[in-house]
Structure 1
Amino acid sequence: MFVGLSAFPLTPMYEDSIDEKAFIGLIQRLVNAEVDSIGVLGSTGNYAYFTREERKRVAQIAVQHAEKIPIMVGISALNLRDVLQNAEDAQIAGANAVLLAPMSYQKLTEIEVYKLYEVVTSKLSIPLCVYDNPGTTHFNFSDELHGRIAQLPNVRSIKIPGVPMEPQAALDRVNRLRALIPEHVSIGISGDSCAATGLNAGCEVWYSVIGGLYPEVAKSLTTAAQKGDINEALRLSKRLDPMWELFQRNGGSLRVVAAAAEIQTLVKSPCLPLPIRALEGDARKELATLLESLELS
C-alpha cells in the first residue's frame, strides 16, 4: 500500500464534535477517485486535538467507508502509553497500517525516538510508516536514525518532509536515504509543493494534503510521475503554484484546505478544532477566486 497517492483528508469538526456525515463524504470522494491509500489522523486530520474515543471513532468510520482502499491511521501522542492504546484501537478497527510521529512537549533525543519506535513496532501486527515532520514535532531525524528505525519489524515506509526543488539535489537527497534503508521500506514525499520533484527523484508515494480534498488533480500528478513523464508532473504542480503560495503564507496547508472545504460546502463552518481557524477575510476571498480559476471542486 506504500506506493502511489496516499490522500490525507480533514477530520471536520462542528460544534465541538466530529462531523461524521461530512467526514464520510470526504472519504467517499477519495474512494470514488480510487486513490491508492487513505491516511486519517495525520496533521491535516488534527489528531493532536482529539480524545482517544474520538480517534477510535475516526478510525472506525474510515475503515467502514473506504471499501477496498487501504487505511492508515495516525497513532502519535505525547505518552508512549497513549501511542500503544491508539495503535491497539487502530488495529481493532481494521486499519491496514499506522502512522507515527515522535510527538513531544520536551524535545526528544535520538535515543528516545529510537526506543519509541522499537517498542511500538514490537507490539504491532500491521505495518508502520515513520512520520518525519519537524515543522510540528520540532524533532529532526538524521538519515542514520532513519536507517536504524527502518530495520525494525513492521516498518514499511518513511514519510519525509520536502525535498530541494532543484532536481539533482532532490535526487541526491532521496538516494542518500535509500542507501541506508532496506529495499522493502518505501520513501514517501510530503510537502505538496515539492511532491512532483520528490516523485520524479524516486519517492514511491506522495502523502498528500491536497489529495485529501481534491484527489483527482493529485492523482493525475502522481500518475504522470509514475509513468516517468517528468515534465507533465512538473507542469501539473506548476499550475498549482498559487495554492502552494497560499500554504506558505498561511502557516501551512491546514487552514487553507479547511477554508476550501468550507467554501465548497463539503463541510460545515467552522470545521477546525478551536482555537485553530480556517482562512478568513481577504485571504478567504483570495482562496475562493483561486478555486474557481483552477476549476477545483
Structure 2
Amino acid sequence: MFTGLSAFPLTPMNEQGIREGEFSGLVERLAKAQVDSIGVLGSTGSYAYLSREERARVTQLAVDSAGDVPVIIGIGALRTRDVLALAEDAQKAGASGVLLAPVSYQKLTDDEVFSHYEAVCCSLSVPLCVYDNPGTTHFEFSDELHGRIAQLPQVRSIKIPPVSTDLNAARERVKRLRALVPEDVTLGISGDVVAATGLIAGCDSWYSVLGGLFPEKALAITRAAQAGDNQTAQRLSSELEPLWVLYREYGGSLRVIATMAEILGNVSSPNLLLPLKTLQGDVRKRVEQVIEQLKLV
C-alpha cells in the first residue's frame, strides 16, 4: 500500500457541501487506472477546511468507490483528541491506512509532535503514514525525530517533502533518512515536480497530486522508475515542464489541478471552498493552453 503510486484526488465542493457524485467519480477513475493506493483528504483534498462529519462522509464515499484499491485517509487536526476521533471514523469506514500531519497553530516542539504520534499509534489498528509537509504545517522534522517516530507501532511510511533536483543530493537525502528508520517503513516522495528524481533516488512511493487527476501520466513515470528505467522516468517528467511551470508560478499544485479539473469537466465550478479560488482570466487561458499542449484529456 505504501509503495508505487498513491494518487491524491480533489474533494469537489462548494459552500453548500461536498459534490458527492463528482468525488466518487474521481475515485472510481483512479481505481480503474489501477493506481497502487488512493490518498483521500490530504492537502489536495482540502481536509483542513472540512468538519468531522464532512470528512467522515468523504471517507465512506472513497472506500465505497475504490473497489480493491487501498484507501489512505488524512486525519490531521489541531488537537490530538480530534485526530483520535478522525482515526476512529476512518477505521470504521474501512480505510486501509491513515495519513497524519502535525497540524498546529502554536509552533510545536519535537517532544509534542512525538507524543502526538505516539497517542494516535496506540489507538490504531491500521498502518500510518507520517506526513512531513512544512509548507503547510510550518513544522520541520529532523531526521532524528523521524527515526524516533518510525519506531512507533503502526508507522509504515514517511511522506517526505520535495528532494533536491540534483540527483546525487537527493540520493544522499534518502540515504540519510533510510539509515534511521526500520526496514519495513517506506519513504515516499511528495512534490510532483521532483517525483521522478525522488523515485530514482530511492523513494519507494510517490504521493501524487498529478496522479489524482491524471493517473496514467503519473503511473508511467512511477512504473519506469520502478523498473530501473531512469532515463524514461526523467524524460516523461521533463515533458510535463509546462505544467510544472504553472505549479511554480501559481502557489503550488492545488489551484492548478483544481482549475484543470474544472476545465476538463471532471468537477463543477467552483470546486474549492472560499477563500480559495481556482485560476481565472488570462491565467486560466494559460492553463487551457497547457492542457492542449500536453494532451491532458
Please state how far the C-alpha of 1:16 moved relative to its aligned partner.
Answer: 2.6
Distance in 2 separating the partners of 1:127 and 1:245: 35
Please state how far the C-alpha of 1:233 moved relative to its aligned partner.
Answer: 0.3
Query: Aligned to 1:274, what secondary structure does the other structure show?
Result: coil
Distance in 2 separating the partners of 1:66 and 1:103: 27
1:188-267 pair list within 5 angstroms = 188-267=188-267
Distance in 2 separating the partners of 1:90 and 1:273: 23
Give the superposed CA RMSD.
0.6
Aligned to 1:124: 124
Query: Aligned to 1:108, what secondary structure does the other structure show?
Result: coil
Task: Report Cα offsets for 1:169-210 as digits up to 9, x if no partner.
Answer: 000000000000000000000000000000001100000001
Distance in 2 separating the partners of 1:14 and 1:110: 36
Query: Aligned to 1:254, what secondary structure does the other structure show?
Result: helix
Distance in 2 separating the partners of 1:140 and 1:261: 31
Query: Aligned to 2:162, what secondary structure does the other structure show?
Result: coil
Aligned to 2:40: 40
Distance in 1 separating the partners of 2:153 and 2:247: 35
Aligned to 2:81: 81
Please state how far the C-alpha of 1:128 moved relative to its aligned partner.
Answer: 0.2
Aligned to 2:10: 10
Task: Tell me if 1:109 matches 2:134.
Answer: no
Please state how far the C-alpha of 1:14 moved relative to its aligned partner.
Answer: 3.1
Task: Report Cα offsets for 1:94-153 as digits up to 9, x if no partner.
Answer: 000000000000011101000000100011000000000000000000000000000000
Aligned to 1:53: 53
Distance in 1 separating the partners of 2:15 and 2:264: 19
Distance in 1 separating the partners of 2:263 and 2:14: 15
Task: Report Cα offsets for 1:219-243 as digits up to 9, x if no partner.
Answer: 0000000000001000000011111
Task: Report Cα offsets for 1:146-175 as digits up to 9, x if no partner.
Answer: 000000000000000000111110000000
| Structure 2 counterpart of 1:155, one-letter code | V
| Structure 2 counterpart of 1:227, one-letter code | A
Distance in 1 separating the partners of 2:153 and 2:15: 41
| Structure 2 counterpart of 1:267, one-letter code | V
Query: Aligned to 1:268, what secondary structure does the other structure show?
Result: coil
Is residue 15–residue 274 contact of structure 2 (8 Å, CA) maintained in 1? no
| Structure 2 counterpart of 1:201, one-letter code | A
Aligned to 1:151: 151
TM-score scaled to structure 2, two decimals? 0.99
| Structure 1 counterpart of 2:285, one-letter code | K
Is residue 213–residue 257 contact of structure 2 (8 Å, CA) maintained in 1? yes
Aligned to 2:278: 278
Please state how far the C-alpha of 1:15 moved relative to its aligned partner.
Answer: 4.2
Please state how far the C-alpha of 1:283 moved relative to its aligned partner.
Answer: 1.1
Distance in 1 separating the partners of 2:246 and 2:176: 31
User: Which residues of structure 2 form unaligned runs of 5+?
Assistant: none
Query: Aligned to 1:39, what secondary structure does the other structure show?
Result: strand
| Structure 2 counterpart of 1:17, one-letter code | G
| Structure 1 counterpart of 2:158, one-letter code | I
| Structure 1 counterpart of 2:68, one-letter code | K
Distance in 2 separating the partners of 1:45 and 1:15: 15
Is residue 72–residue 97 contact of structure 1 (8 Å, CA) maintained in 2? yes
Is residue 16–residue 273 contact of structure 1 (8 Å, CA) maintained in 2? no
Query: Aligned to 2:107, what secondary structure does the other structure show?
Result: coil
Distance in 2 separating the partners of 1:150 and 1:72: 18
| Structure 2 counterpart of 1:38, one-letter code | I
Query: Aligned to 1:199, what secondary structure does the other structure show?
Result: helix
Aligned to 1:178: 178
Query: Aligned to 1:130, what secondary structure does the other structure show?
Result: strand
Task: Tell me if 1:164 matches 2:174.
Answer: no
Distance in 2 separating the partners of 1:21 and 1:241: 32
User: Percent identity over the alignment?
Assistant: 63
